[in-house]
Amino acid sequence: MSEQSPHRRPQTFRLDDPTVVVMDPDEHGRLSRGTVRVTPEPDPALMPALTDVPPVPTRRGFRWGALFWTGLSGLVLLGVGLSVIHLVEDLFARSEGLGFVGLACALVATLALAVIIAREVLGLARLLTIEKLHHRAAEVLVSDDRAAGQNMVQDLLKVAHQNPQLARARAALQGHRGDIIDGGDMIRLAERELMTPLDEEARRLVSSAAQRVSIITAVSPRALVDVLFVFVAALRMIRQLAWLYGGRPGALGMIRLMRQVIAHLAITGGMAASDSMIQQMLGHGIAAKLSQRLGEGVLNGLLTARLGLAAIDVTRPLPFMALPRPALADLAKDLLRKREDGEE
């Protein structure tokens, strides 16, 4: 038989009572009769904070691939530039009017290219800023540095200043700037104030994208149409999430963002149908209620939702600490509820 601790009635005592002894949990000793042993519990504020794994591992070392593509892009631009110059010279040789028309077209194209390059650079810079904010927030949660937390929140407000939906949250955070708040608590306060409405909108975007993919792939007669629609829907969803959290990527930014999302999926388990997905489907009786085609549509919707959750982790400027992380089970319930309502 296992030994049971003797039952002791609740009682009150004073901490300065000589019969009260404060001992650590790992201390063992024989106490005299009538002595009360008090074991202090660990202070949660002094315990190390749990932080999320960075969504994308930092790559170190010289990147030969980037150097190759930079040199190749430079050669292509030089070749195109020389071709345009020769074309304009040929037009001037044929007719002065044609030469000026060709020169004007070349100038317009050059101006448009410069604007496009500037927008792409700004988009990449914004994505890099979001990534740095995520890493800085994780470091502040560990160090609990008050000055670093204040600076972090100030930079976060600069990213969120163009979103009118966060006007009240920005005002609330500005009112707490002079308060004596630890760095980790300041990050959690910023997450509750700024990320709450954004997380709700992100969950709605992911749920809507998963439902669209589920419906279209269930009724589509061609597999090629399914692949194209899922790809376009995934790109659109990731772009909307990036814009929601302040990223605003361009074409190059979307390529970088897709790489980060895929890398995050690889770290957190990939896009395979996991046990949780199968349990969700079997738990709601999908195998018995739906045909094979409709079941494939539901599974595609679940995979899209999984991709959306990974995109939220990548595009969100703060790690999930004070707020709950969106769960695939909740999105699956919305998807299956939508499917059952559609059947009725």
Alpha carbon distances (Å) from 257 to 108, 165, 275: 30, 24, 27
Q: What does R_g of the chain's alpha carbons equal in angstroms?
A: 29
Please tell me the predicted confidence (pLDDT) of residue 32: 65
Q: Would you state the structure tokens that stand for residue 139, as one six-digit string?
A: 């470091």
Please tell me the predicted confidence (pLDDT) of residue 250: 80
Alpha carbon distances (Å) from 71 to 74, 118, 197: 5, 19, 44
pTM here is 0.67
Name the DSSP class of 25. T
Backbone angles phi, psi at 223, to 5 degrees: -70, -35
Please tell me the predicted confidence (pLDDT) of residue 163: 77
Containing 22, the helix (H) or strand (E) segment is strand 20-22
Q: Return d(Cα 156, Cα 147) in angstroms, integer.
A: 14
Please tell me the predicted confidence (pLDDT) of residue 292: 58
Residue with tokens 């030089």: 78
Beta bridge partners of 36: 20
* pLDDT in single tens digits along all 344 residues of the chain: 444 445 556 666 666 667 667 666 666 666 666 666 666 665 544 444 444 444 444 555 667 887 888 899 889 989 988 998 999 999 989 888 888 999 999 999 999 989 998 998 888 888 888 888 888 888 888 888 888 888 888 888 888 877 777 888 788 777 777 677 788 888 888 888 888 888 889 899 998 888 888 888 777 777 777 788 888 888 899 889 888 888 878 888 888 888 888 877 676 554 444 445 544 554 444 444 445 556 677 777 888 888 888 888 888 888 888 888 888 777 766 666 655 554 44
Question: Tell me, what amino acid is at 293?
Answer: R
